[in-house]
Amino acid sequence: MIKPMLPTLHQNPPQGKDWVYEVKYDGYRCIASLETNNVSLQSRGGTELSPSFPEIVQFLKDLTHINACKKMLPITLDCELVVLTSPRKANFQIIQKRGRTKTNENISKLSNEHPATLLAFDLLEIKGNTLILKKFSERKETLIHLFEQTRLPLSPIVNNASRLQYVPYSYNSEELWEQIKLEHGEGLIAKRINSTYTLGKRTTDWIKVKNYKTVTCFITAYQKENGYFHVGVFKGDSVEGIGLFSHGLTSEERTALIGVIKQNSYKEDDKFIYVKPGICVEIFYLEVYQNQLRHPEFSRFRFDVEVKECSADGLFKPTLPASVPITNPDKPLWEEPLVTKQSFVEFLYHCSPYMLPFLKDRAMTVIRFPHGMSGESFYQKNCPDYAPSFVETHVDQDINFILCNNMETLIWLGNQLALEFHVPFQTAFTIEPGEIVFDLDPPSKEHFPIAVTGALMMKEIFDQLGLYSFIKTSGRKGLQVYIPLQDGQFTYQDTRQFTEFIANYLVSKEPALFTVERLKKHRGNRVYVDYVQHAEGKTIIAPYSLRGNDLPTVATPLYWREVKESLRPEEFTLFTVQERLKKIGDPFQDFATSKTKQPFQDVLSSLKELRQ
């Protein structure tokens, strides 16, 4: 059993030329051993993880048969075993579920639905030679050489076919920290570049800094046997326990707190001293998992807070950028169900890692609702003169378009009550589309099942052609099917040949269900297959944008397995989409990586031959 080197927790990363910085991922610490006829995955505590992660084991076994790897064996890697949701964040809930699953049937199902990735950040052994006395920089150099030789990814990539990926380091802690915060990652690790590997020891050569959130809550009880303080918040008029803490208190603070609890207790038994809500504290935590705080730690006493202010709402209040003040946060945008400006802005914050890749460098058109759903709305293309300096712009045909390239701009637009984000199919710096989008537009929500039928027919065609495809709700009554394209490779003239062919094929197969008729009065009850909208200068609603409807519905990416007759687009709202992302992740997470694998040129060539 190999006991891994452990980092020491600090509030801030150390600075200087002796330090480098890596992303800290939220998963299982794992020592991976690769030998000629054996692969082992060992947890930090020595538990064998291999049975729970067969896809990792199989990938590593296949890797050991590749000549470039075979000559390096035996190899021992220090890794984090994760389910990635973005390049700098892992899904703790899913990896926990996978680790606890024991039946072969469920393990197999989860390994297909939520494949894990082994993120290698250190190398302990290669060719049977130990590297623990080598400098960290030398170990990293040898590790990246190994990855280059075996053609494995040199940075974490979501949903990549490779189950083993490399964790790079950065010399710039501030830049990395901003990226981690944007993607709501767990934190970072600072590592002394010249340090050796200390087996089984907690060391100051590795410093971990966590991306903590804070909540203000109250003490409910003191647990005598282990010295933990239980905390809670108000949920309505009732008290809801949200966890317990011990770390973070000085000895003087601990003594004083126990004294106050004893003085104000209303009940005591063999295990606990109970106290009514009244002692308010601020707690650091990483996230809420199953209604409990993860990694809670005492921050400070809050004598300035009324106990009634300690509510469950505070658990989900993100720390918004200080550079973007939110004006009139209680302004209602929807009356029923109630959506305030604050809750809308917080929705944008939570969805920012998934939205921003589709907004970056796109000359946006937004629809603003300055008085909420009860008032008038208007389109805005030009960036106003009062926009802050962090808002990037691009001038095209005398229009100074906003480029939403950072979270500050997204939150600022939210504060301007820009509810809808419409983006073109190409960036501001290219003339070629980066994706194809088909819009399946039924005449009413009652005819939505026909759009489902059309989408599934498209999926069948695209699968036969070997094309990667994605799907989302329009946020209203329709569906939109995406085909990612490698940037700069194809013109709109190229894509029009394909989109027109697919649309007409659907109409020819089911003329009673689908139409390409542009005039609504001539469509009847058929679904309009809009391929004309995919053109230069046209736009589409961005993934995760809200829509100006009676309900706060969201243009929501879906997994193809969800596309069935029972699907209801009105179920995807500001309230449900946030929970959905936490539980099942982002269905568009491998959109970018599929661009390079898309065999669209082959399909286009075949189509041209067919038309000759």
In angstroms, how far is CA 489 from the centroid of its own chain?
A: 28
24 is catalytic: yes
Q: Which residues contact 98 (CB under 8 A, 6 or more apart)?
A: 52, 53, 83, 107, 110, 111, 114, 116
Whole-number Cα distances in Å, 18 to 172, 174, 200: 12, 16, 23
Round to whole Å and give the CA distance between 282 and 304. 11
Round to whole Å and give the CA distance between 227 and 249. 11
Whole-number Cα distances in Å, 227 to 57, 240, 254, 265, 275: 41, 20, 9, 16, 15
Contact 3, 200 (CB under 8 A): yes
Going by the DSSP 8-state scheme, the letter that residue 364 receives in this structure is: -
E strand residue ranges, 391-497: 392-396, 399-403, 418-424, 435-441, 470-473, 479-484
Among 3, 24, 331, 595, the one annotated catalytic = 24
**Secondary structure class of 135 (helix, strand, coil):** coil
**Secondary structure class of 595 (helix, strand, coil):** helix
Contact 242, 232 (CB under 8 A): yes
Round to whole Å and give the CA distance between 594 and 228. 48
**Secondary structure class of 330 (helix, strand, coil):** coil
Q: Which residues are catalytic?
A: 24
